[in-house]
Amino acid sequence: MNRINKRLVAGLKAWQKKGAKVSYLKHNKIKVPQIFISAGVQSDKLFLICSGFHLEETSGPLFLLNPHKSLASLKRILKETNVVIFPVINQYGLRYPENSQDKFLRYNQAGLNYNSAWGYQKKKCREVKLVEERLIELHKKYQIIFTLSLHEDSTEVGKGYVWINNIVKPVRKIIQSGLEKKVDNRLLLKMKSTLGLRKGKIEKGFTIIDAKDDSFESFSSDILGIPTLLSEAPFGLELKKRIAFHKASLSSIPV
């Protein structure tokens, strides 16, 4: 069983005790959890957070399933903006330990990647389709002001970086400056090219700008038109340091 699975039920109950509404997107036996936290005032604004695509990347889901840790980081946003969290997209991989093969943690039983085919008429994981449909509903009902996606990169062990899509340069600079202040410089990846990564422009070494593919982040930014930040925590470090990177990414977003 994956470490995330062990935290899932208790984490969702903890959110309910904090007043959040927990519901599920369902198809047959698949249940994708959704956490809705209302703003302190009546608002049509929404801040979206997603994680749990690849389940060797445990820091995002474990951070989001711990309201004691994540609520403190969300407090400033919740003053005027509702927050919706999808803490674990991938439901298939929950049965496998986080040190299992990629085919169990990144792909479903049909070999489909959980961070592919978003927004396209291609074969895709059922969970992807469910969340896609829900996000389109939310996009019609709310003004989604920002999307934050939480990952880790197992090919860049011990280093963190971010992808920034559909965000104007002045705001990008605020996010980059925030990360430089809050994260040990030795943990920030120094990229010189995007070789082996999605195509995109590099800024300040640890930032990839406007990458294009069929990932969730491109669906959010290019198809739905939402400013989107993907936080790649430093894989392989202790959980506390990986969560700290995500917290730095979140706190650097000027909303």
Give the pLDDT score at 212.
87
Buried b (16+ CB within 10 A) or exposed e, 21-54: eeeebeeeebebbbbebebeeeeebbbbbbbbbb
Residues with Cβ within 8 Å of residue 178, at least 6 apart in sequence? 248, 251, 252, 253
CA nearest to 105, candidates 2, 212, 20: 2
Give the pLDDT score at 180.
97
Give the pLDDT score at 192.
79
Give the pLDDT score at 155.
87
Give the pLDDT score at 198.
57
Instruction: Spell out, as residue ranges, where the chain has pLDDT lower than 50.
Output: none
pLDDT tens digits, residue range 112-165?
A: 999 999 999 999 999 999 999 999 999 999 999 999 999 999 889 999 999 999
Burial grade of 156 (CB within 10 A; 0-12, 13-18, 19 or more): middle
With beta carbons less than 8 A apart as the criterion, state whether 4 and 52 touch: yes
Give the pLDDT score at 197.
55
Give the pLDDT score at 194.
62
Give the pLDDT score at 231.
98
CATH fold, domain 3-251, is: Aminopeptidase (3.40.630)
